[in-house]
Structure 1
Amino acid sequence: MLHHDFRRFLNALNRLNPAQIEDAQTKIRDLRRKTEAISEIEARTNQEHKCPFCGDERRQKWGRTRTKIQRYRCSGCKKTYSGRTGSAIGRIHRPDLFMVALRDMLGTSAPKSVRKLATQLDVNKYTVWRWRMLVFSIIANSSVAASFSGIIEADETYQRESRKGSREWVRHFADPKNVAAPPRPRWEDYTTKGLKMMRGLSRWQVPILTVADRGGARLFRRLPNRKGVTLERAMRPLVPGDAVLCSDGGNGYMNLAAAVGLEHCVVGSKPGTRVASGCYHIQNVNSLHARYKRFIKPFCGPATKNLCGYIRWLEARLAGVKPADILGIA
């Protein structure tokens, strides 16, 4: 816009009525959101000058894309590219709305549900869901194994098994003679049909191993079952030989300590036994369990097949990962 046209636009603002002012604010907010998204995407190209096709660093500006992102032309292979070319977000048609969804996932406030976020962005709920699954895949591919030392705390928490999106009961009802019933009732049957809920832990409770040390390193990992051998195998590469392991009296921890020669402090769950010798406890892990429960509760039991993605998402929030970091990974 030319300077005199811009001055005319500013002078016209004084003649707007309240409804027009509200519409103008909405439009400016949308434009600002798009501009911020473009800036963050172009920052990735400014940091990495190499062509995504041939790796040549020589380039020249070559117009802009449909979404107003700067396009470049490689001087080597003569192909054009932008900051999104070759990335996981390269085929997203609304990068501005994707950035809003990404900030909601990694912000300091509690993330919104898919339906609420879709209503806010005025898009289909399945679009927001696909974006969330895309972020899950990016975070999963970039996860780095934590390194533990010193006093290491370990314990498990449990998530109820969920088969959201599964068609197993639909197939069984459609063809009961050829398709056997699934191995357990639907969770809704426990309330609608008056079935008694199984008490305590069962094979329908998915274990999640939580490990933390006093240096701030932490890890969540879903385990396939509750067997002591599975727990021992998961813990063995995480605990160095000179560490002190604090846990409950589970067989997996005791077998690991005996096999590796670790100093093992068993902490009880009853009052008076939760702290051993002052500094040996699992309160940090219990705090992580509470944060996990608060984080996962609004999602009303995510599907077990996506549980690892939710766990990586929580780890990214606890680690303070920023949207720019996700774009750099993508």
Structure 2
Amino acid sequence: MKNVGNIKADIRNLSDVELQDLFNFIGEIMTLNSLSNNLPKDCRESRFSKGEICPHCNSDNIIKNGKLCGKQRYKCKTCGKTFNDFTKSALSYTKLSLETWIEYAKCMVLGYSIRKCADIVNICVKTSFYMRHKILDAVRMFMGIGNVEGVVEMDETFVAESFKGNHMKSGFVMPRPPRKRGKQVKKRGISNEQVCVATAIDRNNDLIIEMVCKGRVRHSDLERLYKGRISDNSIICTDSHKSYIQFATNLKLDHKRIMRGHYKNGIYHINHINSLHSKFKEWMLRFHGVSTKFLVNYLYWFKWLQNFSEDKEIIKNKNLLIHSTINFVDTKINNFKGRKPIFV
């Protein structure tokens, strides 16, 4: 093993580029160690910000119950079950180290594919898939659908329905002939081969983005999603689609329509939401198709990235894991099997 003097001599012989790489590597190690040491405490404080409660029955009648693998355990005197600080979260039911989860969260912040995440973190693709959706299931519960107010731009975008990941050997029966790789839907225009993603964004960048139906959106779909989530005095800006006219009438909202061939109506426009949809489509290309039953998780992943886009990368890495542990969510692997698409 080299002594300190030899190490210093080797460092002096490094080029500027090699020194920069060394400093970056040391910074990554220090950051990882800092996150590993502080993350359990940060997660615990965020999760039990209103007091310690049992994740099984929500009782506050709990006591300490020793430690296991360095983690404090508790026992609920109401239901008799035991738990730790990460029970019913993305980090429960795992044998992987906290450092591995931190490294994986970093890959997700950068928007890497499942296979690329697996290569970087040194895990198998199947494990990478489950880690991704355990985190996203918990983040979806943390964020919720959301609310908008004031001047609200509304529009919808469409994603081809996909049965990616379903196999006939597991008993799955395709409801339509399969499409060849790279091919889009066969029917022209908007059809039931496409999933409608309704989106609303206000001038404070509050965002709602949800799957509502297959094919053309109806005013009943819009009411089901936005009723109670848009303030009464809001002004909605939409294109000329007739569903929004009936929707605005039923909810008694001020409605500004951007007619075909026009870009704005005074200060009212839908430029922000059109830009958001372009970003979403471009962001989704890296995944080469997403199964419809997991599309909702990708919508919330994109929404989370938009909400925290101005934070530094190290803050986003930490917050992604903290936000995936705040709510009590059962993230067992068996819950992913046989999952159905989640429409609002």
Q: Does 1:231 align with 2:221?
A: yes
Measured against aligned partners, the alpha-carbon deviations of 1:228-252 in whole angstroms (never above 9, x if no partner) come to 2443423443344332221112221
Measured against aligned partners, the alpha-carbon deviations of 1:127-183 in whole angstroms (never above 9, x if no partner) come to 1110111012102222334222222210001111111012259969xxxxxx7xx44
> 2:285 — aligned with what?
297
**Against the structure 1 CA distance between its residues 13 and 292, is the aligned structure 2 distance closer, same or farther, given a 3 Å change threshold?**
same
Gaps of 5+ in 2: 11-17, 309-315, 329-344
Correspondence 1:73-152 to 2 at 5 A: 82-85=84-87, 87-94=89-96, 95-105=98-108, 107=109, 110-152=110-152
- Aligned residues of 2:280 and 2:302 also touching (Cα < 8 A): yes
User: Which structure's relative contact order is higher, taking Cα pairs within 8 Å and 6+ residues apart?
Assistant: 2
- Aligned residues of 1:231 and 1:252 also touching (Cα < 8 A): no
Q: Secondary structure at the match of 1:165?
A: coil
Q: Structure 1-normalised TM-score?
A: 0.74
- Higher-Rg structure is 1
- Aligned residues of 2:149 and 2:202 also touching (Cα < 8 A): yes
> 2:325 — aligned with what?
327
CA distance in 1, matches of 2:125, 2:250: 50
Q: 1:210 aligns with which of 188, 192, 199?
A: 199
**Against the structure 1 CA distance between its residues 186 and 169, is the aligned structure 2 distance closer, same or farther, given a 3 Å change threshold?**
farther
RMSD of aligned residue pairs (Cα, Å): 3.9
Which amino acid in the other structure matches residue 94 of structure 2? I
Q: How many residues align?
A: 297
Which amino acid in the other structure matches residue 209 of structure 1? A
> 1:307 — aligned with what?
295
Correspondence 1:150-299 to 2 at 5 A: 150-168=150-168, 182-188=174-180, 197-225=186-214, 226-233=216-223, 234-270=225-261, 273-276=262-265, 278-299=266-287
- Aligned residues of 2:153 and 2:269 also touching (Cα < 8 A): yes
- Aligned residues of 2:240 and 2:260 also touching (Cα < 8 A): no
> 1:41 — aligned with what?
40
**Against the structure 1 CA distance between its residues 243 and 79, is the aligned structure 2 distance closer, same or farther, given a 3 Å change threshold?**
closer
**Against the structure 1 CA distance between its residues 52 and 28, is the aligned structure 2 distance closer, same or farther, given a 3 Å change threshold?**
farther
**Against the structure 1 CA distance between its residues 227 and 169, is the aligned structure 2 distance closer, same or farther, given a 3 Å change threshold?**
farther
Measured against aligned partners, the alpha-carbon deviations of 1:182-233 in whole angstroms (never above 9, x if no partner) come to 4433221786xxx994332222111100101123211101111324244342
> 1:5 — aligned with what?
none
Measured against aligned partners, the alpha-carbon deviations of 1:40-79 in whole angstroms (never above 9, x if no partner) come to 023334564737487457759x56x43xx45367798999
Measured against aligned partners, the alpha-carbon deviations of 1:83-130 in whole angstroms (never above 9, x if no partner) come to 33454412211122112112322x3xx311111111111111111110
Which amino acid in the other structure matches residue 143 of structure 1? M
**Against the structure 1 CA distance between its residues 85 and 163, is the aligned structure 2 distance closer, same or farther, given a 3 Å change threshold?**
closer
CA distance in 1, matches of 2:180, 2:95: 38
CA distance in 1, matches of 2:168, 2:64: 53
Q: Structure 2-normalised TM-score?
A: 0.71
> 1:50 — aligned with what?
52
Which amino acid in the other structure matches residue 297 of structure 1? L
Which amino acid in the other structure matches residue 95 of structure 2? H
Measured against aligned partners, the alpha-carbon deviations of 1:238-288 in whole angstroms (never above 9, x if no partner) come to 344332221112221011223333322211342xx1211x21111111121
**Against the structure 1 CA distance between its residues 14 and 230, is the aligned structure 2 distance closer, same or farther, given a 3 Å change threshold?**
farther
Which amino acid in the other structure matches residue 98 of structure 1? W
**Against the structure 1 CA distance between its residues 57 and 227, is the aligned structure 2 distance closer, same or farther, given a 3 Å change threshold?**
closer
